Amino acid sequence: MSQASPPFLPRRLEKFLRDSTELSVDDGRRAHALGQVCVLAPGAPAPRFMRVDDLVYEDDTVFLNQFRLEPRSAHVSLMLNKPGDVTATLRDPHGQRDLTAFLDAMPRGVFPVGRLDRETTGMLLFTNDGDLANAILHPDHQTEKVYWLWLDQPLADDDPRLARWVEGVPLGGRVARAVSVGVQHRSESHTELLVTLCEGKNRQIRRMCRALDFDLMHLHRKSVGPLALGSLRIGEWRPLSADEVEGLWHAAGGRRRATERKIAALVARARERRERGEPDLRLEAWLERWRAS
């Protein structure tokens, strides 16, 4: 259920707040705007206020309402078998049923990893590990997600529209593709498909179905990476084991790849500051130590 945190890398103050508290992104920004967050750098005479995009280093001390913050030493991740008619957000703007009741029962500080649209059922992951969430959601990491589709129409094995799932379907200026598609069951009146995606753009499967003239009656996410719902019933949730979390990391490319992406982002940030004629000397020094280590 819990996993030790990786070594500390410089991170934006906003991310440090997420890594150290149970505040949502909005609550963290609100606390910052109210002047409740300050940072004491080594050798500085007093804490100072920083922008949310400024970097926090391992030897900095961050305070929230005068209390010292420490990045959490372990994380928790869970899976929910999401019911239909539930908006997969922390708060539905129209007052409809959302994730509030589930989050109230879960460990504080977890948030949903991505989204399922309101009508879709199936696996929705939750975690308080932003690095794991980003790794799962990043399209370059190719984390596979398997969906079950109920079509209110019969399809033959040689229906040319099936091949279009993998060949690509134009959607709003881009081409959406599935990794694979297969017929799981059919009758004279309906067809059940299994579709594997690595992308997962907004309502992608529903939009692909409309483009291909498929009459989609129900959509259900069966798995994410190596994790399947198994016997977890609709509306139930459970914590992930340490092995399951490791399996997710492996499917998302591993912790080393996530660290490499963060280092690359820091290098790009330093380069951009140099090109602006405003080099970040502290970041430059940190990168030099990193390269020498």
Mean per-residue pLDDT over the chain, rounded: 92
**Active site positions, annotated:** 117
Q: Contact at 8 Å (CB) between 255 and 233?
A: no
The predicted pLDDT at position 1 comes to: 44
Rounded Cα gap, residues 147 and 185, in angstroms:
14
Does the pLDDT of residue 74 top 90, yes or no? Answer: no
Q: Which long-range contacts (CB under 8 A, 24 or more apart) does 196-202 make?
A: 196/144, 196/145, 196/146, 196/147, 197/144, 197/145, 197/147, 198/139, 198/142, 198/143, 198/144, 198/145, 199/139, 200/114, 200/137, 200/139, 200/145, 201/171, 201/174, 201/176
In the chain, the amino acid numbered 95 is G
Q: 199: pLDDT confidence band, cut at 50, 70 and 90?
A: confident
The predicted pLDDT at position 138 comes to: 83
Rounded mean pLDDT, 24-36: 92
The predicted pLDDT at position 121 comes to: 97
Q: 270: pLDDT confidence band, cut at 50, 70 and 90?
A: very high
Q: 6: pLDDT confidence band, cut at 50, 70 and 90?
A: low
Q: Domains in the chain, please, with CATH?
A: 1-72 (3.10.290.10), 73-138+229-253 (3.30.70.580), 144-224 (3.30.70.1560), 266-293 (no CATH)
Q: 37: pLDDT confidence band, cut at 50, 70 and 90?
A: very high
The predicted pLDDT at position 2 comes to: 43
The predicted pLDDT at position 4 comes to: 45
Is 88 or 126 the better-scoring residue by pLDDT? 126
Q: Contact at 8 Å (CB) between 82 and 120?
A: yes
> In this structure, what token pair is assigned to residue 72?
């959490």
In the chain, the amino acid numbered 61 is T
Rounded mean pLDDT, 139-163: 90
Q: Contact at 8 Å (CB) between 137 and 113?
A: yes
The predicted pLDDT at position 91 comes to: 78
The predicted pLDDT at position 185 comes to: 92
Q: Could you read off the pLDDT of 202-224 as tens digits, one per residue?
A: 789 999 999 999 999 999 999 99
The predicted pLDDT at position 3 comes to: 45
The predicted pLDDT at position 140 comes to: 76
